Amino acid sequence: MAIKDIRLFGDPVLRTPAAEVVDFDKELRVLVKDLEDTMLDAPGAGLAAPQLGVGLRVFTYCVDDVVGHLVNPVLDLSDEQQEGPEGCLSVPGVTADTKRALSVVAKGQNMYGEPVLLEGTQLLARAVQHETDHLDGILFVDRLDPEARKAAMRAIREAEWFGEPPPLVKVSPHATFGLGM
């Protein structure tokens, strides 16, 4: 079990768009396992690679006791909307009603590079959209109306964890090709 530190609001990696995965190798499978282990330990409904400091387009999810992952997601969103409470493991203790599409069809790949089609509504649709936003450098607070965003930002500034130094990152002696793995 590899539980990793989750990057918190204010860490620049959370605002940086992630790179498309091109190598479906052992390192990617280790990353997916680390994401799953960390997400389940937290616990959360999803976790994206940038939240572990890795700039790759990969996320995991756990909705209704179904654990899965998606690599290089492309979303097709419904026009019908839902609004409901949303939080984030990178913004602990802060939740707000957030508008999202009611349903989603996500196309991508699994950790072996095989095609995946993921369809979901309600919480699964919310989780897939939330995690895909992370891959684009977007946080749920960016989707709030101005009043709710102001309240969320106030709660972030007042949180115990806000302003803490980011976790120490150990540099690998192996080539990472700039991907932070």
Helix, strand or coil, per DSSP, at residue 29: helix
Q: Is residue 72 part of a domain?
A: yes
Q: What is the CATH number of the domain that holds 150?
A: 3.90.45.10
**Number of H-type helices and E-type strands within the chain:** 3, 7
In a domain, 149, yes or no: yes
Active-site choice (80, 83, 131, 160): 131
Of the candidates 36, 56, 55, the residue with the CA atom closest to the CA atom of residue 46:
36
H or E stretch including 83? strand 81-88
Query: Is residue 6 assigned to a domain?
Result: no
Radius of gyration of the chain (CA): 16
Phi, psi of 167 (to 5 degrees): -60, 150
Distance CA 30, CA 27 (A): 5
Does the pLDDT at position 164 exceed 80? no
Return d(Cα 36, Cα 88) in angstroms, integer.
15
Q: What would the two tokens of residue 77 be? A: 């969103």
Would 40 be classed as within a structural domain?
Answer: yes
pLDDT-derived band of residue 169, with 50, 70 and 90 as boundaries?
Answer: low
Q: Is residue 4 part of a domain?
A: no
What is the extent of the structural domain holding 71? 12-158
| Cβ-proximal residues to 125 (8 Å cutoff; 6+ apart), any chain | 78, 82, 100, 101, 102, 103, 104
| Domain count within the chain | 1
Give the global pTM.
Answer: 0.88
User: Is residue 112 domain-resident?
Assistant: yes
DSSP annotation of 14 reads G
Condensed to tens digits (0 to 9), the pLDDT of residues 38-59 reads: 999 999 999 999 999 999 999 9
- Residue 131 bears catalytic tag: yes
Tell me, yes or no, whether 167 lies in a domain.
no
* Residue 18 maps to a domain: yes
Q: Is the pLDDT of residue 126 over 60?
A: yes
